[in-house]
Amino acid sequence: DVKVTQSSRYLVKRTGEKVFLECVQDMDHENMFWYRQDPGLGLRLIYFSYDVKMKEKGDIPEGYSVSREKKERFSLILESASTNQTSMYLCASRERDRGLGYTFGSGTRLTVV
């Protein structure tokens, strides 16, 4: 069964910490995405990557960066965590054909205290 795996289901971090969220896919997909999901705001795109070492800003990139050194792995980095980054973070991947839809990971619920 094809899979997108996020390294942690739940994380609690302190304000100011540097936080790494990891995502690995085993489907050889070119495209990978990071979203955050908040009540009343839906899914918002943070960053995406269309190839190794390639990245593009989404709608809310401020306070985040990403890294894609290998095709299967896409990391989201919170440079200095703040309480307003408490959220559910969802990683997704997709083949190059945009008509095929995303495969999502199970999500990481991050709490910044």
Partner 1 sequence: GNSVTQMEGPVTLSEEAFLTINCTYTATGYPSLFWYVQYPGEGLQLLLKATKADDKGSNKGFEATYRKETTSFHLEKGSVQVSDSAVYFCALNTGGFKTIFGAGTRLFVKA
| Residue 99 in the binding site for partner 1 (CB under 8 A) | yes
Should residue 31 be labelled a site residue for partner 1 when binding is judged by CB under 8 A?
yes
Does 45 sit near partner 1 (CB under 8 A)?
yes
Residue 43 as a binder of partner 1 (CB under 8 A): the answer is yes
Q: How many CB atoms lie within 10 A of CB 64?
A: 20
Please give the torsion angle defined by the CA atoms of residues 36, 38, 43 and 44, in that order, rounded to the nearest 10 degrees.
-60
- Per CB under 8 A, the list member of 34, 48, 64, 74 interacting with partner 1 is 48
Q: What is the DSSP letter of 41?
A: T
Type of residue found at 97: D
Q: Among residues 8 and 82, whose Cβ is nearest to partner 1?
A: 8
CA 51 – CA 49 distance, rounded (Å): 6
Among 19, 46, 81, 90, binds partner 1 (CB under 8 A): 90
Shorter beta-carbon distance to partner 1: residue 77 or 88: 88
